Amino acid sequence: MNIIGIIASPRKEGNTAFIVNKILGGAKEQGAETSAFSFGNLHIEPCCGCWSCHRSQQGCVIEDDMQKIYDAIERADAIVLGVPIYMGQMSAQGKIFTDRLFARFSPRFSPFFNDHAVKQRLILSFNQGNPDANLFKVYTDYTKQMFEVLEFEVSEVPIVTGLRNEPAHSKKDLDMSLKKFGSSLVLASC
Ligand SMILES: Cc1cc2nc3c(=O)[nH]c(=O)nc-3n(C[C@H](O)[C@H](O)[C@H](O)COP(=O)(O)O)c2cc1C
Per-residue pLDDT of 96-119, as tens digits, reads 999 999 988 776 656 666 666 678
Backbone angles phi, psi at 35, to 5 degrees: -150, 155
- Neighbouring residues of 89: CB distance < 8 A, sequence distance ≥ 6: 95, 136, 139
- Three-class secondary structure of residue 148 per DSSP: helix
Q: Domain range for residue 47?
A: 2-187
State whether the Cα torsion 89-143-16-158 is positive or negative. positive
CB under 8 A, 24+ apart: contacts of 143-148: 143/90, 146/98, 147/122
> What is the pLDDT averaged over residues 83-95?
98
pLDDT at 107: 67
- Three-class secondary structure of residue 59 per DSSP: coil
pLDDT in tens, 45-86: 999 999 999 888 888 999 999 999 999 998 999 999 999 999
For the chain, what is the domain count? 1
Q: Which of 22, 23, 85 to mutate to test the pocket of ligand 1 (most atoms within 8 A of CB)?
A: 85
- Between CA 32 and CA 119 the distance in angstroms is 18
What percent of the chain has pLDDT above 90?
82
pLDDT at 188: 87
Ligand 1 neighbours by CB, cut-off 6 Å? 9, 11, 14-16, 84-88, 127-130, 163
Backbone angles phi, psi at 77, to 5 degrees: -90, -30
Q: Which amino acid is at 77?
A: D
Q: Which of 12, 13, 22, 86 to mutate to test the pocket of ligand 1 (most atoms within 8 A of CB)?
A: 86
> What is the pLDDT averaged over residues 13-22?
98
pLDDT at 21: 98
Mean pLDDT, the chain, as a whole number? Answer: 93
> What is the pLDDT averaged over residues 128-136?
98
pLDDT at 61: 95
pLDDT at 169: 96
Which residue has the CA at smallest separation from atom 5 of ligand 1?
Answer: 86
> What is the pLDDT averaged over residues 4-23?
98
**What is the four-CA torsion angle of 138, 139, 142, 143, rounded to 10 degrees?**
-150
pLDDT at 119: 84
CATH number at residue 174: 3.40.50.360
